[in-house]
Amino acid sequence: DLLISAIPDDLDACLDVATGTGFTAAALSKKCRRVIAIDETENMIDKARELMKERGIQNVEFVKTPFETFSTDIKFDAITIRRALHHFTDKDLFFRKASGLLSGRGIIAIADMVSPEEDAEDNFNRLERTRDPTHVGALKISEYRDLASKHGLIIRSTNTTIEELTFDEWLYPVPMDSETGQKCLSFIRSLNSDQLRKMRFDPEKMILRKERIIITLMNGDQPKK
C-alpha cells in the first residue's frame, strides 16, 4: 500500500480523514500509538469499528464529524485521506486546516484521482459528477502545488499511476442501461475529439485513462527526507 508506506513508523498521533470502513485507520494503527479516525456517516463508523474488533485493534478512536467542523487540540504526526478529497467542496479549507493540525514534523498523505491538466473545460469532473453527484471535483497536479504553496506546505513525494478503464468498468456499479448510465454515455457523445483527448478518453475503444496520485506534504520549514 503506497499511501501507508509513505507514513513513517513509530508515530504518536495520526488522523484518518473520511475513514469510511476503516482500512486505512487499521493500517495506521501499526505505525502510530494513537489513531483518530473521523467520518460524517454513522454507518461507515459502525463498519470501521467492527473491523477493529475483528482485528483486535485497540488504539483507534472514532469521531462522527465532517472534517470541516472537527475540533481538537492534538497535533498530528500524519494526516491521511484516501479517495475522498474529490468529495470536498472547499479544498482550500482542507489544506488550511490540515496544515494547522500538523505537528512540527508531521506529514499529510493524500490518495485520490487527478483531473487532467489539459482539461480546461473540466469535462473529466463533469463526467464523474454525472455518474456520482457527490463527486465535487478532483484536483489537477498544478492545483495541488498551488494549494500547498498557499498554505506553507512543500511536496515531500508524489507517485502517479494511470489506470485504463473501459467505459463499463469506469461506470460500475452503475448499470449501462440505467438512467445515470445513459446520461454518462450521452455526455461523452456530446464532446468533440479534442475535448475527449484532453480528458484522456478514447471514443473508439471507449477507454478512460484515469490518473491517480499519492502525494505527501509537510510544513515548509522542515527539511525534505
The number of beta carbons lying within 10 Å of the beta carbon of residue 189 is 9
Cis status, amide bond into 173, omega within 30 of 0: yes
pLDDT at residue 18, as a whole number: 98
Q: Would you say residue 63 lies in a domain?
A: yes
112 within 8 A of 86, measured Cβ to Cβ: yes
3-state secondary structure of 224: coil
Contacts of 118 (CB under 8 A, 6+ apart): 197, 198
pLDDT at residue 74, as a whole number: 98
pLDDT at residue 220, as a whole number: 83
Name which of 137, 141, 138, 152 is nearest 96 in CA terms. 152
At residue 197, what are phi and psi to the nearest 5 degrees?
-60, -45
Q: Would you say residue 175 lies in a domain?
A: no
Identify the helix (H) or strand (E) that includes residue 193: helix 193-198
Q: Would you say residue 17 lies in a domain?
A: yes
What is the CATH number for 142? Answer: 3.40.50.150
Q: What is the number of domains present in the chain?
A: 1
120 within 8 A of 198, measured Cβ to Cβ: yes
Task: Give pLDDT tens digits along the chain (225 positions).
Answer: 899 999 999 999 999 999 999 999 999 999 999 999 999 999 999 999 999 999 999 999 999 999 999 999 999 999 999 999 999 999 999 999 999 999 999 999 999 999 999 999 999 999 999 999 999 999 999 999 999 999 999 999 999 999 999 999 999 999 999 999 999 999 999 999 999 999 999 999 999 999 999 999 998 865 554
User: 208 has which bridge partners?
Assistant: 165, 201
163 within 8 A of 209, measured Cβ to Cβ: yes
* Cell numbers describing residue 75: 497535533
Q: Would you say residue 16 lies in a domain?
A: yes
3-state secondary structure of 41: coil
Q: Would you say residue 140 lies in a domain?
A: yes
**Beta strand residue intervals within 51-152, DSSP E:** 60-64, 76-82, 102-114
Q: Would you say residue 125 lies in a domain?
A: no
- For residue 31, the enclosing domain spans 2-115+134-163+210-219
CA distance 164 to 43: 32
